[in-house]
Chain A
């Protein structure tokens, strides 16, 4: 193989490297020059995360060879700042909330740097076009576009807002603590972990949906250059355990896989073998040498056929493909339907999607002196650690799991995957650290999917549109295994009534195994499907009763005085679903105002006159957030006054290091800038549940408040003894504790910590000396708060091509008290963008044999900056009475209502001449529909 010695200038410094000529420029930067700010998001030139400047021009470093950079100058994200002083563009990104997880950020910064070097007086449209070759999954592009626009202008940048004092920290829209590091490419994602002797793994995956392995010959691969180890099922047969069912349920026929396929393949993408080599290139070379022979079996692919036809069983030991069945009834639906003025029956389908965070899954494991240390892209480090220890037969204490920076999660990174057993096992066997980074192609089948459901719905309405009865029997495509049991379809089952009064409700869900990638939660986890169902049905009802779609909603929304609202539905944990608080009418009214609902008919008529088809759609939602049962936090004050907050919840871009610090600053009485948050490390706190279901602000936020409050009380107790005053004579402001009436008598919290830490010249520390100035608290809560809101959208439909363009959209939501409005807004922008995407672009399809039709960003499309206009956004703050902070989660709400509203808007554009019963809606299908009724 060809080797070369090359010389190049990187960020102004001369560099030399000995390389193989097949090395990509991206891998040269990351692996040879240790510049890990250049990220690999797709390795086929679509995501733009690896963009660098080559002789001043932006290029994809995954689509250039390192040898081609010989003698040339490269600029990476690490070269943009002047020392620690952010460039104007970087500072604008921080100002405008232009980043969340930070994984795509280096590529955007480089692309925008190149764009701005040529553009003056640029417009938003030009910026959006220029950025359309970079993908972001978190921000919905709003902050990024605004940042580039701000940087392009002549005016000085907005000054950093002065940081608020401790009081008022909750609710302040302050800059994120995470940003400075991430903007300079100094984030440390799992693939960036560098350890001496690190070896690299690659996984062989089957292309068949259902097949029996006849022969698996890996001998040549084991002997291939650079190969250190290779595992097939035969190599782990004596120790392999099936992945555990972490969320069992009585109505679930649980089936979980072994870490490697034992005998029968059950979905395309299932892992057959894993190889470890000196580098990833050699590992992939070895995979090419493994020979697999199969007896190909007929696969169960289509959801409904899989249910009907018990011949093609995904699991031979089950009588059919039913993975589970459950349901409930509130009131008497049969009776209520009989009494209804109008009964509508519909069949609605929801397509399958892949969450596609810009950072794929990755794991690095190191085993030394009997202790396993693992860095993992995990949304739930503590839960994962428990499963991992069980899989590897290790005591829990010997497994240390760290979730470093994570490039987006959205749900699937909460699960346990086969590689999380295999990679640590290989590190233990080899005595060398091992890293595995899922590549983009693998991510399409190896990371769990979401959403696919088919609903048979009956809605009974009174003459005035009042909902009398709702019945929904639906199917959920579980895929080949049941990694999270009934969670997603169960969430759907209790979310269909949404923000409306539904006096009689019957629901039954059948979960069906198919030979497809397993299904798991993805942003909204069952709720976007539920919203699609109820909102579609209300639109159909309005049409039938000749009511305005908004009017039928208004008549059925739960009223502010009805809270807490008892739905009588029973949740998965056997508690009643009770909506805590909200003002659904207010959200609806303000959304209509923002979108210009009342004037829209005039606007629509004018557009029609100009041969343009436009339409408007509105959808209301509630979304359960902050699922229990508990979350913890530890707060400690150091003698130098620094405050540390430890929490088990990992972050995937949500800014927890900022928001949890805000809560601590407020409750403890210290400056925000004195608080550092460490999260996602199992050594920092004993127990944790994880990051999902918009639960961190609710569960970890309240835990931090409790721990900070406890530290505060401890400090006051100690100071009361020192100053010989009553505790209520003391106050704490900005880290200083003083006697209210004699403020010259004061101490810093650091000094109190010093005193509580104890030293040999003391007789005894003041107050309660246990664990110094430090407290751990767990917030336990099984009364989740429900966020809510309304989304409205105006679209334009091209009559000939079927293309749908979002012209403008608005959302007014209520997530209770906002800890940091900028961070909340970022969550909403991103959630709405994902909603638009799964309505108009995304669908994960298979052919009849179960071969996936998407394996790249050419065939699975994510939205770019040119198709997501800036959302008009406003807030209603109804505090939740169910937790001390009064917060509700903000992470999922943005995604929940979007598909329903867009589909409604398309129908509206067509004057109600067609009924849309499926999401996604693609131009090709719409165009066919319109042509079928040429008169439209």
Chain B
């Protein structure tokens, strides 16, 4: 299980990196944290002629917080964001989600942007970015575009990134204080890949749920927002029956695949269960309810 041969480039400025992408197109793969890429290389499941190691590009090592929100550059490790001072106040959902990713040893290498660009259906960060409605900046030689997380994920392991483009940073909008949040997932083993998971963000207003965001992930498809359940909740006063109906809608609208680990029926049903648990926790954090259990 050794990587196949490849040409190796490790430029130090972004312009050179983008130039290399433009020249090589599909024949070059970006190496950021490498926690998925090196697995694929060791298994020889991919054989890219060249690797573009972006770790030495100083411009990409960017982690900034301002009134607009949190800006995370392409080489920021998951652990760097996890340890960012005050993250639990700046963005409590990210703070809750990051420790779920892999293990601390892989988070020391794996990058935030790399996880988004890899778009593994079972990964937490794509689901969190979709919930937070993050904006992703894609740069190419002589141009850039900004896409919303809703547009970014196309299919399992597939995004809108063109071969000559690089996800140079992701911007998470500023946290709306008062929002409630939660991430729930089920894995076959603690700290393992999610068989299915749910991310919830609730904006309260005067005892009602002003706006709900519910994202299901781990279904075999890209993470998806549960729009029927969201619109059902939006503007309604919180109640146990409201929650039950939302759960039912999540089960109805979730699309899921079967694989060796779980059936689609299982994933759909448990997506509802987890949505119920996440909604309840988020509602408590948003001050909408004090009730402390839901089956």
In chain A, positions 639-687 with a C-beta closer than 8 Å to chain B are none
- In the complex, identify which listed stretch (A174-182, A489-497, A721-729, A860-868) lies at the interface while the others stay far away: A860-868
Q: Mark A269-311, 1 if CB is under 8 A from B, else 0.
A: 0000000000011001100100000000000000000000000
Q: Mark B48-81, 1 if CB is under 8 A from A, else 0.
A: 0001010100000000000000000000000100
CB distance from A41 to the nearest CB of B (A): 11
Does B145 make an interface contact (CB < 8 A)? no
In the complex, the answer to whether A866 meets B190 with C-beta atoms within 8 Å is: yes
In the complex, the answer to whether A281 meets B105 with C-beta atoms within 8 Å is: no
Known contacts A45-B35, A801-B270, A861-B192, A63 near B5 by CB under 8 Å:
no
Q: Mark A746-778, 1 if CB is under 8 A from B, else 0.
A: 000000000000000000000000000000000
In the complex, the answer to whether B38 meets A24 with C-beta atoms within 8 Å is: yes
CB distance from A646 to the nearest CB of B (A): 37
Does B39 make an interface contact (CB < 8 A)? yes
In the complex, the answer to whether B270 meets A800 with C-beta atoms within 8 Å is: yes
Does B273 make an interface contact (CB < 8 A)? yes
Task: Tell me whether chain B's interface is mostly helix, strand or loop, or mixed.
Answer: loop
A24: B residues at CB distance < 8 A: 2-3, 38, 42
Taken together as a complex, chains A and B put the C-alpha atoms of A130 and B99 apart, in Å, by: 10
Does B293 make an interface contact (CB < 8 A)? yes
Partner of A864, one of B5, B109, B190, B273: B190
B: interface residue count bin: 35 or more
B189: A residues at CB distance < 8 A: 841, 861, 863-864, 866-867
Closest A residue, CB atoms, query B262: A924
In the complex, the answer to whether A63 meets B106 with C-beta atoms within 8 Å is: yes
Taken together as a complex, chains A and B put the C-alpha atoms of A67 and B105 apart, in Å, by: 19
- In the complex, identify which listed stretch (A54-62, A327-335, A910-918) lies at the interface while the others stay far away: A54-62
Does A441 make an interface contact (CB < 8 A)? yes
B192: A residues at CB distance < 8 A: 861
B269: A residues at CB distance < 8 A: 800, 927, 931
CB distance from A553 to the nearest CB of B (A): 31
- In the complex, identify which listed stretch (A206-214, A313-321, A818-826, A851-859) lies at the interface while the others stay far away: A851-859
Partner of A1, one of B5, B43, B51, B186: B5
CB distance from B170 to the nearest CB of A (A): 22
Does A535 make an interface contact (CB < 8 A)? no
Partner of B105, one of A60, A129, A841, A922: A60
CB distance from B251 to the nearest CB of A (A): 11
Q: Mark A861-881, 1 if CB is under 8 A from B, else 0.
A: 101101100000000000000
In the complex, the answer to whether B260 meets A439 with C-beta atoms within 8 Å is: no
In the complex, the answer to whether B42 meets A44 with C-beta atoms within 8 Å is: yes
A440: B residues at CB distance < 8 A: 1
A858: B residues at CB distance < 8 A: 193
A111: B residues at CB distance < 8 A: 104-105
Does A229 make an interface contact (CB < 8 A)? no
Known contacts A611-B293, A611-B295, A285 near B1 by CB under 8 Å:
no
Does A51 make an interface contact (CB < 8 A)? yes
Taken together as a complex, chains A and B put the C-alpha atoms of A51 and B270 apart, in Å, by: 34
B188: A residues at CB distance < 8 A: 841, 861, 922-923
CB distance from B294 to the nearest CB of A (A): 9
In the complex, the answer to whether A64 meets B34 with C-beta atoms within 8 Å is: yes
Closest B residue, CB atoms, query A800: B273
Partner of B186, one of A44, A923, A928: A923
CB distance from B44 to the nearest CB of A (A): 7
Taken together as a complex, chains A and B put the C-alpha atoms of A2 and B8 apart, in Å, by: 6
Taken together as a complex, chains A and B put the C-alpha atoms of A922 and B260 apart, in Å, by: 11
In the complex, the answer to whether B39 meets A439 with C-beta atoms within 8 Å is: no
Does B84 make an interface contact (CB < 8 A)? no
In the complex, the answer to whether A133 meets B104 with C-beta atoms within 8 Å is: yes
In chain B, positions 115-135 with a C-beta closer than 8 Å to chain A are none
In the complex, the answer to whether B34 meets A65 with C-beta atoms within 8 Å is: yes
CB distance from B115 to the nearest CB of A (A): 14
Does A48 make an interface contact (CB < 8 A)? yes
CB distance from A280 to the nearest CB of B (A): 6
Taken together as a complex, chains A and B put the C-alpha atoms of A856 and B192 apart, in Å, by: 13
A64: B residues at CB distance < 8 A: 34, 38, 109
Interface centre among A54, A854, A867 (most CB of B within 10 A): A867
A51: B residues at CB distance < 8 A: 105
Taken together as a complex, chains A and B put the C-alpha atoms of A63 and B31 apart, in Å, by: 11
A242: B residues at CB distance < 8 A: none
Knowing that A58-B104, A59-B109, A864-B190 touch, tell me 17 more A-B residue pairs with CB under 8 angstroms. A2-B6, A22-B6, A27-B2, A45-B39, A60-B106, A63-B106, A64-B34, A114-B104, A129-B191, A288-B4, A611-B293, A799-B295, A800-B273, A801-B186, A801-B270, A801-B274, A927-B270
* Residues of A that sit less than 8 Å from B by CB: 1-2, 4, 20-22, 24, 27, 43-45, 48, 51, 54, 57-60, 62-65, 67-68, 111, 114-115, 129-130, 132-133, 280-281, 284-285, 288, 439-441, 610-611, 799-803, 841, 845, 853-854, 856, 858-859, 861, 863-864, 866-867, 922-924, 927-928, 931
A-B contact pairs, 29 of them (CB 8 A): A22-B5, A22-B8, A43-B42, A44-B43, A48-B103, A48-B105, A51-B105, A60-B105, A62-B38, A62-B42, A63-B34, A65-B8, A65-B34, A67-B8, A115-B104, A132-B190, A133-B104, A281-B2, A439-B1, A800-B270, A800-B273, A801-B186, A801-B273, A841-B188, A853-B260, A861-B188, A864-B191, A923-B188, A927-B266
- Kindly list the 9 A-B residue pairs having the minimum CB-CB distance in the complex, ordered from nearest: A133-B103, A866-B190, A21-B8, A800-B273, A43-B1, A63-B38, A439-B1, A132-B191, A57-B108
